[in-house]
């Protein structure tokens, strides 16, 4: 096919590309899931495995998506239609759009919790918090005990209210466009996120007993590396880079022609991992210093952290800073997810960006409310199940464990075996202006043989065909 040359809004510079892509990759998973998995699966040894997985799965699939996006200058569905007109390959793009919807159905709910805690922190509500009150507060935001209550009761509407606030913030940013919205917001929030997390790190490292938390996070014990740990690292490397959800194809379509894709991919992978480790440095020394349980799971972020920070000197300020940076991470990730269906609607159905944004926010809100009201078994919709899972868990499982692994595998196969090699090489070398033939050859080998094999293992494991 001829490369698209139609006028289209895009990012203004390589720095804008880097910050926008990093904003997509950095999310709530960085602030809790990554440090928790690292500490629970061998510390430094897990990090070593993770880095290998990023190199052989994360970065290659990321480059595939950027190639598809920048070469076609189309949305996730239109891109594959441009490359293989009339073929079933555009189903990869459809899967990406579907994955972005499913993730937003429950992710807007979790982001709402973060916004709620950020509001509480800034209004001083955690000043005299206790273990009981912080548990009650978390129960309030997830709708515990609302089964049987009226939909319009205060307890039921509370989680919905914060989910709507999230959609209003994200929708406003998306409606402003690529440069005035996504680019401007990420240029502002990402540096602030780094600054706030460094402040939290400095305070955490000065606490008594902080060294125990650092050892928990980075201790190297290769004996803990099992097949299950490797699979955990492989899945984390894949999902944390926002792959197979249409995001990086869409963002790639906004890249300037001079963006060095290999270097940018490496910077994104490194910076995303750095944010995760910095989050771990902020969390675990604090938890160990106050004798809290580091294996508290997701509740650590919403129950243990407020309790711990409330006991510190300057704790109110640090707690506000912590949840502010968490809200930044959630917002930038949602901006990238929302852009996927908005770009699809505006290009494929020829409707305005503002209208597409409004309709998508409305749709996500209407379906997402089922996730907000089904987090706990005692929530209003907690008793309703889809294939044995509540709405919240169903949306998470279907996107993370089924659609994304399969989508990533198909993207690797498409670029490795069905895309024109000359077109791929041309895009990765910026039309021959970069002398990177060795990198391109290595990429071709990995994406044809290594990445598909590893992704097949992930997919078969997630659907239960094989088990480790």
Domain, as residue range, for 317: 14-462
> CA 127, CA 419: separation in Å to the nearest integer?
58
CB 182 within 8 A of CB 339: yes
Residue 461 pLDDT more than 80?
A: no
Residue 295: what pLDDT?
A: 62
**What pLDDT score does 297 carry?**
57
Average pLDDT over every residue of 37-59: 82
Is 467 a member of any domain? no
Mean pLDDT of 381-395: 92
Residue range 186-240, pLDDT digits in tens: 888 888 888 888 888 888 888 888 898 888 788 777 787 777 777 777 777 777 7
5: pLDDT strictly greater than 70 = no
pLDDT digit string, tens, across residues 117-151: 999 999 988 887 877 788 888 888 888 889 889 98
**Span 53-59, mean pLDDT?**
89
- Establish if 49 belongs to a structural domain: yes
Is 396 inside any structural domain?
yes
Mean per-residue pLDDT, 100-126: 93
Query: Going by C-beta distance under 8 Å and a sequence separation of 6 or more, which residues neighbour residue 289?
Result: 204, 207, 208, 209, 210, 212, 213, 308
Percentage above 90 pLDDT, the chain:
45
pLDDT reading at 86 higher than 80: yes
Segment 284-335, tens digit of pLDDT? 887 788 777 766 655 667 877 787 777 777 888 888 888 888 898 889 889 9
Q: Is 6 a residue whose pLDDT tops 60?
A: no
Q: Is residue 278 part of a domain?
A: yes
Q: Where are the beta strands (DSSP E) in 116-250?
A: none
The reported pLDDT for the residue numbered 251 is: 93
More confident residue, 94 or 218: 94
What percent of the chain stands above pLDDT 70?
95
The pLDDT of 14-43, averaged and rounded, is 76
Number of folded domains in the chain? 1
pLDDT surpassing 50 at residue 363: yes
Whether residue 4 is contained in a domain is answered as no
In this structure, is residue 282 part of a structural domain? yes
**Mean pLDDT computed over 332-358:** 94
Is 116 within the bounds of a domain?
yes
Q: What is the CATH number of the domain that holds 224?
A: 1.10.4160
Round to whole Å and give the CA distance between 455 and 414.
14
Tens-place pLDDT, residues 12-24: 877 888 888 787 7
* SS3 at position 6: coil
What pTM, to 2 d.p., does this model score? 0.90
Residues 171-177 have a mean pLDDT of 93
User: What's residue 214's pLDDT?
Assistant: 87
What are the CB-based long-range contacts (under 8 Å, 24+) for 415-421? 415/64, 415/67, 415/68, 415/447, 416/444, 416/447, 416/448, 416/451, 416/452, 417/448, 418/84, 418/89, 419/67, 419/68, 419/83
Residue 20 lies in a domain: yes
What pLDDT score was predicted for residue 299?
Answer: 65
Whether 1 has a pLDDT exceeding 70, the answer reads no
Instruction: State residue 372's pLDDT score.
Output: 94
Instruction: State whether residue 150 is helix, strand or coil.
Output: coil
């Amino acid at each position: 096919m001829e490369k698209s040359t139609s006028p289209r809004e895009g990012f203004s510079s390589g720095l804008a590309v880097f910050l926008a892509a990093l904003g997509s990759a950095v999310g709530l998973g960085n602030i809790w899931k990554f440090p928790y998995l690292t500490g629970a699966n061998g510390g430094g040894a897990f990090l070593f495995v993770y880095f290998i997985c990023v190199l052989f799965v994360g970065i290659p699939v990321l480059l595939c998506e950027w190639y598809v996006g920048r070469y076609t200058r189309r949305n996730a569905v239109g891109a594959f239609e441009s490359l293989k007109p009339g073929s079933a390959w555009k189903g990869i793009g459809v899967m990406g759009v579907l994955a972005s919807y499913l993730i937003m159905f429950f992710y807007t709910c979790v982001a709402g919790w973060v916004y709620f805690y950020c509001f509480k922190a800034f209004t001083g509500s955690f000043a005299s918090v206790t273990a009981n009150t912080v548990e009650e507060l978390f129960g309030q935001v997830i709708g515990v005990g609302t089964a049987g209550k009226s939909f319009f009761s205060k307890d039921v509407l509370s989680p919905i209210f914060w989910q709507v606030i999230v959609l209003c913030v994200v929708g406003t940013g998306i409606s402003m466009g690529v440069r005035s919205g996504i680019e401007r917001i990420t240029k502002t929030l990402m540096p602030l996120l780094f600054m706030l997390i460094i402040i939290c790190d400095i305070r955490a490292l000065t606490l008594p007993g902080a060294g125990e938390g650092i050892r928990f996070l980075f201790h190297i014990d290769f004996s803990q590396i099992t097949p299950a740990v490797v699979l955990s690292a492989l899945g984390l490397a894949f999902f944390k880079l926002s792959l197979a959800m249409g995001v990086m194809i869409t963002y790639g379509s906004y890249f300037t022609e001079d963006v060095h894709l290999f270097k940018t991919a490496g910077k994104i992978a490194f910076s995303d991992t750095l944010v995760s480790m910095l989050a771990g440095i902020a969390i675990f020394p604090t938890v160990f210093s106050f004798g809290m349980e580091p294996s508290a799971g997701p509740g650590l972020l919403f129950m243990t952290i407020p309790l711990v920070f409330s006991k510190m000197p300057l704790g109110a300020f640090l707690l506000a800073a912590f949840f502010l940076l968490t809200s930044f991470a959630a917002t930038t990730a949602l901006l990238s997810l929302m852009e996927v269906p908005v770009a699809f609607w505006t290009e494929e159905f020829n409707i305005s960006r503002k209208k597409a944004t409004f309709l998508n926010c409305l749709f996500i809100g209407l379906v997402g409310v089922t996730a907000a009201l089904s987090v706990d078994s005692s929530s209003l919709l907690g008793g309703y199940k889809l294939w044995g899972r509540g709405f919240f868990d169903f949306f998470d499982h279907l996107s993370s464990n089924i659609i994304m692994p399969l989508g990533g595998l198909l993207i690797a196969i498409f670029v490795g075996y069905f895309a024109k090699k000359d077109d791929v090489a041309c895009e990765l070398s910026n039309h021959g202006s970069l002398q990177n033939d060795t990198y391109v050859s290595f990429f071709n080998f990995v994406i044809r043989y290594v990445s598909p094999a590893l992704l097949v293992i992930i997919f078969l494991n997630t659907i239960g065909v094989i088990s480790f």
